[in-house]
Amino acid sequence: MRQFRQTSSIHHESRQGRKGIATLINLNPVVNAWCLLKIVWNDGASGLACHLENSEPRPRKLVLDEK
């Protein structure tokens, strides 16, 4: 159910200097177990998409950090 998803985005720079936007999508914040991480590069190159599973969804919340 898309209406329950939460997203957050930050600017990202790779070690090689490529710049883009990283977006973390919590697919169901009530359950807090599955997220998608997407990176879209500013230069138009193919991005990255990863499925993440939170092994401890009650005490642990995944967040993006620019550092």
Residue where the block lists tokens 């883009």: 20
The residues facing 11 across adjacent strands are 21
Task: Please determine, for residue 45, whether its predicted confidence score (pLDDT) is greater than 90.
Answer: no
- The domain tally of the chain equals 1
- Tell me what the mean pLDDT of segment 32-52 comes to: 93
Instruction: Identify the pLDDT of residue 44.
Output: 86
Instruction: Identify the pLDDT of residue 30.
Output: 92
> Taking the model in full, what pTM does it have?
0.85
- Residue 64 resides in a domain: no
Which residue range(s) make up the domain with 31?
2-53
pLDDT, tens only, 1-31: 567 899 999 999 999 999 999 999 999 999 9
26 burial (CB, 10 Å; 0-12 / 13-18 / 19+) is buried
Question: What one-character DSSP code corresponds to residue 2?
Answer: G
- Residue 22 resides in a domain: yes
Instruction: Identify the pLDDT of residue 46.
Output: 82
1 burial (CB, 10 Å; 0-12 / 13-18 / 19+) is exposed
